[in-house]
Structure 1
Amino acid sequence: MKRRHFLMAAGLASALPPLARAAAPALMLADVYRPGMPLEGYWVSEKYDGVRGYWDGKQLWTRGGTRVAAPAWFTAPLPAVPLDGELWAGRGRFELATSTVRSQIPNDTAWREIRFMVFDLPAQPGDFDARLAALRKLLPITAAPWVVPVAQQRATTHEALQALLNKTVKLGGEGLMLHRGGAPYRGERNADLLKVKPYDDAEARVVGHTAGQGRHASHLGALVVETPEGRRFKLGGGFTDAQRRDPPPVGTWVTYRYNGTNPSGLPRFARFMRVRSEPGI
């Protein structure tokens, strides 16, 4: 194993140099839908698996406050009002979206594959019903077919929601989102915005590495991760051989999936899913 990997396995590697940043925008963040939660008044849409994008009327930013170096042609047609959405490369193409958005030297060919899926107008007065009506008047833009208003439909029953979730996942989608129609835009995590997925997932920051054993000797055994609440645990499953040879460095945010929690509050059967450039939606 290369020296850098020995340092990483010992938890001594530093995080990658940060990109140009500003104060993180105050965006609405999603809670998790559970069966039995009331659906009256909610809108449902697909959950697009990309990079959260915030257009402040002049500049494009990620959720964490990193400036997005998009080509001028991509942003030039955008309206001079804040837009909240997802920079998305299509179903099953998360890695393309993240690599394209994170690059500070825009790859014009790659950006031709990106769509800005807009689902809210943060500065628009009124509840989500009113903001959605305004969004439908503002978008689409004929000169910018890559800027797409997210399709919304009224949520009805849990059974209908589950059927739509199953259909979306079968087609390669990640899940669904629920927006409460009567909700104002609040830049915090709350139940006015809910994510609906076929499994639990969450994000944590890598704080160390443990060495593998057996056929994984000299490679990664597990990531030591820390949740935003300060809980630490190990992620030992879900990695490819390539990821074990070159694991995510300390400081990286990763997404993991799990099946409920133990009495201690730690996730059960947690498995690595992928690297995230920063905490997601």
Structure 2
Amino acid sequence: MAGLKHTLAALALAWAVWLPQPAWSDSPPPAPAMLLAEVYAAEVDVTQYWVSEKFDGVRAQWDGRTLRFRGGGSVPAPGWFTAGFPAQPLDGELWIGRDQFDALSGAVRKIEPVDAEWRQVRYLIFELPGAAGNFSERIRLMQEIIAQAGVPWLQAVGQTRVADRATLMKQLDAVMCAGGEGLMLHRADAPYIAGRSDALLKLKPWQDTEAVVVGYVAGKGKYRGMTGALTMEMPDGKRFRIGSGLTDALRRQPPPLGTRITYRYQNLTKNGLPRFPRYLRVREDFQGNTLRNR
């Protein structure tokens, strides 16, 4: 009898191991490995790079089956939006237009997508994750794949070469005057490398990064009864305040504690704190959050 019990127990254990484990809805998928940019420096040889506009959109990666935010959560896009996408993984920005980030964010984060809003969205592709060859070769492959897909809102980001730094800065001025955010420089001979390296550089008149909301400062004067500033914590634990850039709506209902936000700043002080920080937005693409319709 004891032998039979041991045999049954072993079979039960084997069966439990063999059975597929449930995919719990509260366990987010791992964030996709993405190419990340370093900051451009004046000594960089710009003739070795392709140059494109830096789009102020929502980063998203297509893995061949699912469109995902930077944080790993799936983008609640309508089925028709991704129906014609290729099997080749894609990396790019969901984008509506310059100075349209709030409209874009409102559209792409609703659990129930609104077709009329998504009809305005484009998916601008700048990389092919895992593809062979250098970036110059991948540009040609990107163009071929996108042309073959024939999806109007699936578009390759335009890439150009510049002869020198002066030409690069003129291109930056033109983009900024048109309401753009800056430029991206992608090294022509670079293989696809996930992570942060000099294969991809960003060039903007200011710097931006993320910090976490850890407190609030009460408003004074016309902001009495509202939030005067957000207390922010940097990855190294340093704290500072952001008041500039907060709208009246945000002052009445500030981001919850623990929210990661993107802010811009001129440079760092000798104490390592951002100089002239200005609130830009909640960094939901990093957190993988999704907002309900409202």
TM-score, length-normalised on structure 2?
0.84
Residue 95 of structure 1 is aligned with which of 99, 102, 125? 102
Tell me, what secondary structure is at the counterpart of 1:193? strand
Q: Which residue is equivalent to 1:22?
A: 29
CA distance in structure 2 between the aligned counterparts of 1:180 and 1:279, rounded to whole angstroms: 25
The CA deviation string for residues 45-71 of structure 1, in whole angstroms up to 9 with x for no partner, is 011111001000000001111101111
Aligned to 1:112: 119
Change (3 A) 1:151 1:252: same
**Uncovered stretches (5+) of structure 1, i.e. residues with no partner:** 1-17
Secondary structure (helix, strand or coil) at the match of 1:153 reads coil
**Greater mean alpha carbon deviation, residues 62-71 or residues 226-235:** 226-235
196-205 or 59-68, larger mean C-alpha shift: 196-205
- 1:192 corresponds to which of 179, 188, 199: 199
Q: Aligned residue for 1:4?
A: none
Tell me which of 52, 55, 58 is aligned to 2:62.
Answer: 55
1:209 aligns with 2:216: yes
SS of residue matched to 2:180: coil
**8 Å Cα contact 1:31/1:190 also seen in 2:** yes
1:59-74 to 2 correspondences below 5 Å: 59-74=66-81
- Tell me the CA shift for residue 223 of structure 1: 0.8
Match of 1:135 in 2: 142
Q: Is the 8 A contact 1:36 1:158 kept in 2?
A: no
- After TM superposition, list the pairs within 5 Å mapping 1:232-247 onto structure 2: 232-247=239-254
Q: After superposition, give the CA deviation of every residue in 1:219-266 in whole Å (9 maximum; x if it has no partner).
A: 112111122343321112222222211112222222212111111211
The alpha carbon displacement at 1:187 in A equals 1.6
Q: Detail structure 1 runs of 4+ shifted over 4 Å in the superposition.
A: none
User: Percent same amino acid among aligned pairs?
Assistant: 47
1:161-202 per-position Cα deviation (integer Å, ceiling 9, x unaligned): 111111111111111111011112222122211111121222
Distance in 1, matches of 2:66 and 2:173, equals 36
Secondary structure of 1:139's counterpart equals helix
**DSSP-derived class of the 2:179 partner:** coil
More helix by share: 2
- Identify the range of structure 1 (236-245 vs 165-174) with the bigger mean alpha-carbon deviation: 236-245
Q: CA RMSD in A?
A: 1.9
Identify the structure with bigger relative contact order (alpha carbons < 8 Å, sequence gap 6+): 1
Larger radius of gyration: 2
Which residue of structure 1 aligns with residue 6 of structure 2? none
Given that 1:52 and 1:85 are in contact with CA atoms closer than 8 Å, whether structure 2 keeps it comes out as yes
Q: Is the 8 A contact 2:127 2:138 kept in 1?
A: yes
Which residues of 2 match residues 138-217 of structure 1 at below 5 A?
138-141=145-148, 143-217=150-224
Cα distance per residue 1:82-128 (max 9 Å; x no partner):
00000001111111111111112111111000000001101211221
Structure 2 SS opposite 1:233: strand
Aligned partner of 2:125: which letter? Answer: V
Structure 2 residue runs without a partner (length 5+): 1-24, 288-294
TM-score normalised to the size of structure 1? 0.88
* Number of equivalent positions: 263
Residue 252 of structure 1 aligns with an amino acid whose one-letter code is T
Secondary structure at the residue paired with 1:140? Answer: helix
Moved more, 246-255 or 18-27: 18-27
The answer to whether the 8 Å contact 1:226/1:233 transfers is yes
